């Protein structure tokens, strides 16, 4: 197997651990917790895993540890650092007791249900230390939520004498981890379930989780590319680049990249929703900046667009909500119709307001909105070419203004979509260390008989030595939300807060970025070299954690 | 002006110079040269700059140097390292004589004609050392070929007391540099013209030019992204990624990226042309590999597509050739027609064979081929979405095979186009050193009274110390080719050679890359760290220079 020079050298990197995790560890428990909202509902649904305390790990004298076997699952989209969580799990398990075993379930939660697994050995884990991707054991989007799946999983858990399952996933996967923990606890099966906060999208964060892993590496990779495009834009001075960025609903990725690269325009979905802006408002805003720059002779610029934008335009959002419910309840009869009949079906079933929104959308976009839900019942926003939709509508607006004598520039647009380019990048030093510490923490939660917890690492803007590690009860982060037409307990998704420090920093500076050309070129992630390059965290984290 | 941490640290990098350029320099001249083909024609067109010797720089004792003023022009598409050529020019000029001055003409060759310039000072150059982009003085695509332009340029040359012009550009721009050198020599104006080999495309190379600058950085940046996508592909195991790569006609970029990342498929335009393959041959080739992998349960993979592909499919190539000539001679009456009338116009004017090819192309592609020539009369291949054209046709072929029972997999395609992401990346150590040495060499050619030369640096797979520097007469690299319907003297473009070492290495290994999954993940360019990562050259250069 041929590997790159970077892979070879990087394989030798030993992730830095917080002091509290370097030696033997005991837990310090806090007060009982409650869910962020809908406490009665959540408590009723999770009688065995509700109200548990926060825990923090602190150093102790060396202690004996019984043998435990652990199964690990990667769930959902890839994020840089997943392999390091597994390395941390493996090393800590073996450190506690050389007889401990780690099993990897293959291709996501489905591997548990279908009994597809491998044992993770020292030689095997060595090939994946500090690498990107989830190819070590694969990932998948099977939703773990049926009792039959839990019971089927139990068979292989018993067969392999597994004590605990670690699920590495985003908000939905960790919600399901908690449902599984609750079920096994209720049944007194003695099987623990622990989650780890993974997602490049950055929307799995709250008072306990400072950042989800992968956000650091992915946003640095996208910012490298955006910076390169900005430099090209500023050299050729003849194109407007429209860059859509992955990130699903939340705009954290776009916002972080904007803070790193200072583009002329960055749309923030949450702001558009809060201000109740229409698609036309957005188009006029962008066209206005383009016209202003053109008047100064600058017929070029860079626009960042979060992939979730379309859902956050309130009229479109209401439409999508009704479509989600409609497809969840009538999907079966609808699915087999011809495209024209599908459109007709939707138009006759929609309420009047949403029908008129549906009719005014470009047909390709309307089609996308009425198809292809992911297994969680969500629109696959990454398939909608929002960057082209917006740039074409901006072009039409500018043509109109030109006729009216309000604009006299040249407008030539280029389009980019960055997502797959960063989800599997080799983890930055930050993500390499952070993920490894999460893996170690997960093992300590298991060794301390916890279930229904997520592993957490805090104080992450300090040096790694000073990081704090522990666990948070998953129920603490839950509330009730409508999914597929039903109210469900879910971990509350963290959207961009308009009174949060990152957005406020952006809002204070964006007007000058729009008028002037203040591009910053971050360059590629560096693993060796000056610490101010290699060890810096994201701007989002710096701003949020600045006290 | 805010700059990134990488920019700050990188500003302090002092490019390494070959020993021969570290101190005082004299030239060693070789035998008279002749053009690679059409010697009589080229000699007749370039009576004053034909047949000059190759020159090499060798160390000497310190010598006095008269004051010279130099003007520099960036021409055409951006390539990483352009700013370092200018840094090298500046430092060497000042070293030879502190009274020497360097002027930058703005936004390409048009700056010379329109008298837009700045003086490049020590403070100014400092901001751009080791940075990507051409934003220091801007670039442009004005074609310098008319006597009126040469005379107009002479006015500002006289006004600023400039002795020599350095043109940093690709094959066409260096051809024009030689035409300008010849004109000024014929008129005995005493103005020297020197070229520098720039292009990420890698197609400006020959026995004298080992590589054009920017190829190293751009291909490493694209390979980083391709590797990340491969890792994602190999983790999710459900998509075929079709990745188009910039590079105009030649497939050097795609081939180099394939050698670095080992994708399942990489199309090489030159091979398709040599084998006289049809579009259907290509589609069946790709579909065959997809079906083979599907039979093994692997419904995923990565396909690299050179952006020039479409021109190299012989039937399409013949069509484009006729269209080029047709538009060059009848462009004026054709330009103002409505799209439908344009199509009709083309169909009535094409020869029978080409007409039928035109009719069978998807309409959007046919439209692109009949529009938008660049200033050199070439199709703007980067605007054609070849990656989507191919993946859709592959999808149709697989659907047909499924009906015939020959294929039973799942096919889901994603598309990417990488070009602007790498053209302005901060130069790798290789490009930073190489470009700086080219700038120093250009000044030495000027100091030694040369004109019509390109600066060259050779032996580039050895350590920088051992590199050799000198100059090559531009006429030596010329032959006659048809452009815009007329025979013109041009630098022969270097296409991928099917009996060259890089292609042979690829051809020997691609079958196993197709069947197996042998992805290599190069990761981002590193500026600090182990030498095997930071100082490695491209695979193309290693293979071509291996003796």
Phi, psi of B18 (to 5 degrees): -60, 150
Smallest CA–CA separation between B211 and chain A, in Å?
22
Smallest CA–CA separation between B476 and chain A, in Å?
31
State mean pLDDT over A532-541.
95
**CA B245/CA B481 separation, integer angstroms:** 26
> Whole-prediction pTM value?
0.94
Nearest to B167 by CA among B218, B104, B217: B104
State mean pLDDT over B272-280.
92
What residues of A form the annotated binding site? 77, 171, 199-201, 238-239, 246-248, 307, 420-423
Domain edges within chain A: 18-214+427-483, 215-423+499-544
Of the partner residues B107, B425, B520, the one whose CB lies closest to the CB of residue A228: B425
Per-residue pLDDT band for B392 (boundaries 50, 70, 90) equals confident
Average pLDDT in chain B: 94
- pLDDT above 90 (res B358): no
State mean pLDDT over B19-25.
93
Per-residue pLDDT band for B344 (boundaries 50, 70, 90) equals confident
DSSP track, A89-155: HHHHHHHH-TT-EEEEETTSTHHHHTT-EEE--HHHHHTTTT--SSTTT--B------HHHHHHHHH
Answer whether A228 sits within 8 Å of B527, measured CB to CB. Answer: no
Q: For residue A339, how many other CB atoms are within 10 A of its CB?
A: 11
The residue with greater pLDDT, B366 or B533, is B533
**CA A318/CA A312 separation, integer angstroms:** 9
Q: Among the listed ranges A393-407, B106-120, B368-382, B429-443, which one has the minimum average pLDDT value?
A: B368-382
The predicted pLDDT at position A342 comes to 82
Answer whether A235 sits within 8 Å of B135, measured CB to CB. Answer: yes
Contacts of residue A539, defined as CB under 8 A and 6 or more positions apart, other chains included, come to A256, A259, A260, A502, A505
- pLDDT above 70 (res B119): yes
**CA A485/CA A473 separation, integer angstroms:** 27
State mean pLDDT over B348-355.
91
The residue with greater pLDDT, B326 or B526, is B526
Q: Among the listed ranges A500-514, B185-199, B294-308, B361-375, which one has the minimum average pLDDT value?
A: B361-375
Answer whether B420 sits within 8 Å of A414, measured CB to CB. Answer: yes
Judging contacts by C-beta atoms under 8 Å, the chain B residues touching residue A139 are 235-236
Is CATH 3.40.50.450 the classification given to domain B18-214+427-483? yes
The predicted pLDDT at position A395 comes to 93
* Closest chain A residue by Cα to residue B136: A235
> B445-458: per-residue pLDDT in tens?
999 999 999 999 99
Judging contacts by C-beta atoms under 8 Å, the chain B residues touching residue A78 are 231-232, 235-236
Interface test mutation site (partner B, options A12, A131, A235, A522, max chain B beta carbons within 10 A) = A235
Answer whether B221 sits within 8 Å of A422, measured CB to CB. Answer: no
**CA B368/CA A124 separation, integer angstroms:** 50
The predicted pLDDT at position A381 comes to 64
Residues 205-244 on A with a CB inside 8 Å of B are 221, 224-225, 227-229, 231-232, 234-237, 241
Answer whether B235 sits within 8 Å of A521, measured CB to CB. Answer: no
> A54-106: per-residue pLDDT in tens?
999 999 987 778 899 999 999 999 999 999 999 999 999 999 999 999 999 99
**CA B320/CA B317 separation, integer angstroms:** 5
The predicted pLDDT at position B382 comes to 65
Under 8 Å between Cβ of B167 and B141: no
How many CA atoms does the CB half-sphere of A355 hold within 13 Å? 10
**CA A80/CA A61 separation, integer angstroms:** 34
The predicted pLDDT at position A376 comes to 63
Residue B70: strand pairing partners: B102, B164
What residues of A form the annotated binding site for substrate? 199-201, 238-239, 246-248, 307, 420-423
| Residue tagged 């408002």 (tokens) | A281
Per-residue pLDDT band for B366 (boundaries 50, 70, 90) equals confident
Smallest CA–CA separation between A519 and chain B, in Å?
8
**B468 a known binding residue?**
no
Answer whether B262 sits within 8 Å of A2, measured CB to CB. Answer: yes
**CA B398/CA B286 separation, integer angstroms:** 10
Answer whether A421 sits within 8 Å of B523, measured CB to CB. Answer: no
- pLDDT above 70 (res A451): yes
Residue B102: strand pairing partners: B70
Judging contacts by C-beta atoms under 8 Å, the chain B residues touching residue A225 are 225, 421
Judging contacts by C-beta atoms under 8 Å, the chain A residues touching residue B416 are 420-421
Per-residue pLDDT band for A482 (boundaries 50, 70, 90) equals confident
Task: Count CB pairs under 8 A between chains A and B.
Answer: 189
> B211-254: per-residue pLDDT in tens?
999 999 999 999 999 999 999 999 999 999 999 999 988 999 99
Length of chain B: 547
Interface test mutation site (partner B, options A132, A523, A532, A539, max chain B beta carbons within 10 A) = A523
Judging contacts by C-beta atoms under 8 Å, the chain B residues touching residue A260 are 4
Smallest CA–CA separation between A229 and chain B, in Å?
6
Residues 499-518 on A with a CB inside 8 Å of B are 518
Helix, strand, or coil (residue A322)? helix
Query: Pairing mode, if any, of strands A240-245 and A413-418?
Result: parallel
Q: Which of A91, A201, A216, A433 is catalytic?
A: A201
Q: Which of B201, B203, B216, B433 is catalytic?
A: B201
The predicted pLDDT at position B321 comes to 84
Q: Does A416 touch chain B (CB under 8 A)?
A: yes
Helices (H), B370-497: 386-403, 429-447
Under 8 Å between Cβ of A54 and A208: yes
The predicted pLDDT at position A374 comes to 67
Per-residue pLDDT band for A357 (boundaries 50, 70, 90) equals confident
- pLDDT above 80 (res B186): yes
The predicted pLDDT at position B339 comes to 73
DSSP track, A454-510: EEEEE-TTS-GGG-EEEEEEGGGGEEEEEETTEEEEEEPP-PPPTTSHHHHHHHHHH
Question: Sign of the C-alpha dihedral, residues B457, B459, B461, B465?
Answer: negative
What share of chain A in percent tops pLDDT 90?
82
Under 8 Å between Cβ of A206 and A478: no
Contacts of residue B57, defined as CB under 8 A and 6 or more positions apart, other chains included, come to B20, B21, B25, B26, B27, B28, B441, B444, B468, B469, B470
How many CA atoms does the CB half-sphere of A33 hold within 13 Å? 25
> A144-185: per-residue pLDDT in tens?
999 999 999 999 999 999 999 999 999 999 999 999 999 999
The predicted pLDDT at position A372 comes to 63
Buried/exposed B79-111: b ≥16 CB within 10 Å, e otherwise: bbbbbbbbbbbbbbbbebeeebbbbbbbbbbbb
Q: Does A522 touch chain B (CB under 8 A)?
A: yes
Nearest to B526 by CA among A80, A261, A428: A428
Q: For residue B541, how many other CB atoms are within 10 A of its CB?
A: 21
CATH superfamily of B215-423+499-544: Phosphofructokinase domain (3.40.50.460)
Of the partner residues B139, B224, B241, the one whose CB lies closest to the CB of residue A524: B224
Active site residue B201: yes
- pLDDT above 70 (res A375): no
**CA A474/CA A469 separation, integer angstroms:** 16
The predicted pLDDT at position A360 comes to 75
Smallest CA–CA separation between B348 and chain A, in Å?
31
Phi, psi of B437 (to 5 degrees): -65, -35
Smallest CA–CA separation between B319 and chain A, in Å?
27
State mean pLDDT over A35-56.
97
Answer whether B235 sits within 8 Å of A138, measured CB to CB. Answer: yes
Judging contacts by C-beta atoms under 8 Å, the chain B residues touching residue A242 are none
Contacts of residue A148, defined as CB under 8 A and 6 or more positions apart, other chains included, come to none
- pLDDT above 70 (res A339): yes
Answer whether B533 sits within 8 Å of A6, measured CB to CB. Answer: yes
The predicted pLDDT at position B381 comes to 64
Of the partner residues B224, B232, B529, the one whose CB lies closest to the CB of residue A527: B529
- pLDDT above 80 (res B372): no
Average pLDDT in chain A: 94
What residues of A form the annotated binding site for Mg(2+)? 171
Smallest CA–CA separation between A135 and chain B, in Å?
4
Q: Among the listed ranges A13-17, A79-83, A208-212, A388-392, which one has the minimum average pLDDT value?
A: A388-392
Interface test mutation site (partner A, options B73, B235, B431, max chain A beta carbons within 10 A) = B235
Smallest CA–CA separation between B299 and chain A, in Å?
14
The predicted pLDDT at position B376 comes to 63
State mean pLDDT over B14-24.
94
State mean pLDDT over B287-311.
96
Residues 523-542 on B with a CB inside 8 Å of A are 523-530, 532-533, 536
- pLDDT above 70 (res B305): yes
Under 8 Å between Cβ of B522 and B260: yes
State mean pLDDT over B254-282.
96
Per-residue pLDDT band for A444 (boundaries 50, 70, 90) equals very high
- pLDDT above 70 (res A377): no
Answer whether A231 sits within 8 Å of B133, measured CB to CB. Answer: yes
What share of chain A in percent tops pLDDT 70?
98
- pLDDT above 90 (res A332): no
Phi, psi of A505 (to 5 degrees): -60, -45
Answer whether B424 sits within 8 Å of A228, measured CB to CB. Answer: yes
Per-residue pLDDT band for A338 (boundaries 50, 70, 90) equals confident
State mean pLDDT over B477-492.
91
* Closest chain B residue by Cα to residue A427: B523
């Amino acid at each position: 197997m041929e590997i790159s020079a970077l892979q070879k050298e990087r394989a030798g990197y030993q992730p830095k651990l917080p002091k509290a995790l370097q030696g033997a560890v005991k837990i310090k428990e806090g007060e009982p917790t409650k869910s962020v909202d809908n406490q009665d509902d959540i408590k009723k649904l999770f009688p065995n895993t509700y109200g548990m305390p926060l825990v923090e790990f602190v150093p102790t004298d060396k202690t004996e540890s019984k043998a435990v076997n652990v199964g690990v699952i990667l769930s959902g989209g890839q994020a840089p650092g997943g392999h390091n969580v597994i390395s941390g799990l493996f090393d800590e398990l073996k450190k506690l007791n050389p007889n401990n075993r780690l099993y990897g379930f293959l291709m996501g939660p489905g591997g548990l249900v279908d009994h597809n697994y491998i044992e993770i050995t020292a030689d095997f884990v060595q090939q994946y230390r500090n690498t990107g991707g989830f190819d070590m054991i694969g990932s998948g989007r099977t939703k773990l939520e049926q009792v039959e799946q839990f019971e089927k999983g139990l068979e292989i858990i018993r067969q392999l004498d597994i004590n605990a399952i670690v699920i590495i996933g985003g908000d939905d996967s960790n919600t399901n981890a908690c449902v599984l923990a609750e079920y096994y606890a209720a049944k007194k099966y003695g099987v623990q379930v622990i989650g780890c906060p993974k997602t490049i999208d950055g929307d799995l964060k709250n008072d306990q989780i400072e950042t989800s892993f992968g956000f650091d590496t992915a946003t640095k990779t996208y910012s490298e590319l955006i910076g390169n495009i900005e430099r090209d834009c500023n050299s050729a001075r003849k194109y407007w680049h429209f860059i859509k960025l992955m990130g699903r609903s939340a705009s954290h990725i776009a916002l972080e990249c904007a803070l790193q690269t200072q583009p002329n325009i960055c749309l923030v979905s949450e702001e558009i929703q809060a201000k109740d802006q229409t698609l036309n408002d957005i188009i006029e805003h962008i066209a206005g900046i383009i016209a202003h720059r053109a008047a100064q002779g600058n017929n070029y610029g860079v626009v960042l667009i979060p992939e979730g934008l379309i859902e956050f335009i309130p009229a479109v959002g209401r439409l999508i909500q009704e479509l989600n419910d409609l497809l969840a309840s009538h999907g079966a009869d609808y699915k087999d119709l011809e495209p024209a009949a599908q459109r007709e079906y939707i138009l006759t079933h929609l309420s009047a307001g949403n029908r008129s929104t549906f009719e005014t959308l470009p047909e390709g976009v309307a089609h996308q909105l009425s198809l292809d839900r992911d297994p969680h019942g969500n629109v696959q926003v990454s398939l909608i070419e929002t960057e082209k939709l917006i740039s074409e509508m901006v072009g039409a607006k500018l043509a109109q203004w030109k006729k009216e004598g309000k604009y006299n520039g040249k407008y030539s647009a280029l389009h980019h979509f960055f997502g797959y380019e960063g989800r599997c990048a080799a983890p930055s030093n930050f993500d390499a260390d952070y993920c490894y510490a999460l893996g170690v923490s997960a093992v300590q939660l298991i060794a301390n008989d916890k279930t229904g917890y997520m592993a957490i690492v805090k104080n992450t803007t300090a040096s790694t030595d000073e990081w704090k590690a522990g666990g948070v009860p998953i129920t603490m982060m839950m509330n009730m939300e409508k999914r597929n037409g039903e109210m469900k307990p879910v971990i509350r998704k963290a959207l961009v807060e308009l009174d949060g420090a990152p957005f406020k920093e952006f809002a204070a500076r964006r007007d000058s970025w729009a008028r002037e050309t203040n591009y910053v070129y971050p360059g590629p992630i560096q693993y060796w070299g000056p610490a101010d390059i290699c060890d810096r965290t994201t701007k989002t984290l710096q701003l949020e954690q600045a006290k």
